[in-house]
Amino acid sequence: MLLPLIEVVSTLKVDKFLSQIQSFRISPSKIHRNLSVDDLVKIAVDKKEGVINSTGSLSVNTGKYTGRSPDDRFIVYDDKTHNTVDWGKVNHQFPSGKFEKLLEKMKSFVNNKELYVFDGFVGADKDNRLPIRVINDHVWQSLFARNLFIRPTNEELENHTPEFTILCINNFEAVPAVDGTESNVFIIIDLTRKIVLIGGTQYAGEMKKSMFSVMNFLLPEKGVFPMHCSANIGKDNDTALFFGLSGTGKTTLSADPNRKLIGDDEHGWSDNGTFNFEGGCYAKCINLSQEAEPEIWNAIRPGAVLENVVLNNNQPDYDDNLLTENTRVAYPLDYIPGAVIPSVGGHPKVIVFLTADALGVLPPISRLTKEGAMYHFMSGYTSKLAGTERGIKEPKSVFSECFGAPFMPRPAAVYAKVLGEKITKHNTVVYLVNTGWSGGPYGVGKRIKIKYSRAMVTAAINGSLNIVKYKHDDLFNLDIPTEVPDVPSDILDPKNTWTDKDSYSLSAKKLAQMFVENFKKFQNVAPEIISAGPVYHA
């Protein structure tokens, strides 16, 4: 009886789609399915969800929540997850029964409402992709989903059967005392029902990161290594990977005019090579300049979604952080000139671990052994930067396993083991690059210039660092190149950039101690991996 009551706006046959909607047991008054960019933007403007700014992109504000809400993210605890998920401060348990009740409340909430559906995929490798359905109550979020996930062909759309569904209803808020959530906001992943529930927040990044978490759980069972990294490929088909948390430079440094972009954030590494999970990019915009980041600057055009960027006379002011430091733009991958479509590459020749060291003591670049790479991968040292999460106002030193702990459901050792195997099998060289501070900690020193970081990465990828001399840092157990093309040699050793050498020594020993103490939480780690990390004796 539900089918005739639902109006579906689509250019394709919808019989199969309507049957699936009925099976999901929702009965909205109208569904817009996989609309064109022009239609999505027009409806968003008509509904006053956003405005067209001077670049032609759609400007939106996400309201109270301008970053992820990690304390409101849960995974349903059941037979599938009880001994496979690394439960703790990152992966919070949610009762299966409570999930079912909340799901039913959300289904009732959307009855007789207008909804927007995007059907597509996560994963550019057809052997490893996941068919998904994203259901939204805000049209601009459907445009975001269209930009960030992989868009289907018409034939794929007509035959689409989702294996995972995101029900993202911004206007629905939880009642913590009743629903079992921490606040009115919730992001709950049910790996058995294959449903993600999102409510109470308009921050669109929750959709993409929840599906990233899903892939990070599913792929290791298939022997595929999921990675929080960006990837690009050179003229000689040499693939490079860039690991790092938000704000460390993954998007910026992988958007290289001399190389083709595979993707800027989420990838898998299978026996066939590297593949992007996404069909778009979600780049930070704070202090964006055309000179430093021309590819991102030029991608902000019609069809892109600009989040929380202040407009002055309808022109984006990328230096204004009035709304948040975490300003963003979402655009399709093909907005980057020369982007690889479909976004797949070979086995990486070079891996770059990116860290934003707020203490200012790590060298700008150093080369890692395989054991050192496994150590730093498991450690995942970086700084959470302002705005990427609620409550983060200035850089805070953290250890985030696998350079992506907020999105890794399984224990770090599961991922690190595969990394070590692949480094050995494919002779991959790994570098640690500090894109954070130099000359002192945050507030005293200065952030390392992006042009220097880019020059270092270029040298690592093109082989220039294979022929230079290195010196060993005994404290951090790192090999530091003595020269890098187009980079002043005096900044390569961070101690040289500090005026107060004693303060440097104290800060360096402090960080080394932090590494050692953090690594104690890992059990049954091979001695050669432990000994590859910093050396600190109290």
Dmax over CA atoms of the chain, in Å, equals: 77
**Which residue, among 113, 99, 112, 111, has the nearest Cα to 174 in the 3D structure?**
99
Beta 58-60 vs 51-52: how paired, if at all?
antiparallel
Residue 471's identity, in one-letter code, is K
Quick one: which H or E segment has residue 182? none
Rounded to whole angstroms, the Cα distance separating 157 from 7 reads 18
As a whole number of angstroms, the distance between CA 438 and CA 405 comes to 26
DSSP string, 13-81: --HHHHHHHHHHT---SEEEES--HHHHHHHHHHTTS-EE-TTSSEEE--TT--SB-GGGEEEEESTTT
Q: Tell me the DSSP string of 311-329.
A: EETTEE-TT--SS-S--EE
Q: Which residues are within 8 A (CB) of 395 and not within 5 positions of it... i.e. 6 or more apart?
A: 356, 358, 383, 384, 385, 386, 436, 437, 442
CB neighbour class for 83 (10 Å; exposed up to 12, middle 13-18, buried from 19)? exposed
- Distance, in Å, from the CA atom of 488 to the CA atom of 451, rounded to the nearest integer, reads 11
Phi, psi angles (nearest 5°) of residue 528: -65, -25
Residues assigned a catalytic role: 68, 209, 228, 246, 250-251, 265, 328
Residue type, 309: V
Give all strands of the β-sheet with 114-122 in edge-to-edge order. 7-9, 30-33, 114-122, 130-136, 164-169, 195-199, 186-190, 73-77, 92-95
Place of tokens 């655009």: 331
In sequence order, the β-bridge partners of residue 169 are: 199
Nearest residue to 374 via CA among 526, 227, 529:
529
Of 284, 264, 217, the C-alpha closest to 75 is 217
Residue 120 in contact with residue 208, Cβ under 8 Å? Answer: no
Distance CA 34, CA 12 (A): 10
Number of other CB atoms surrounding residue 115 within 10 Å: 22
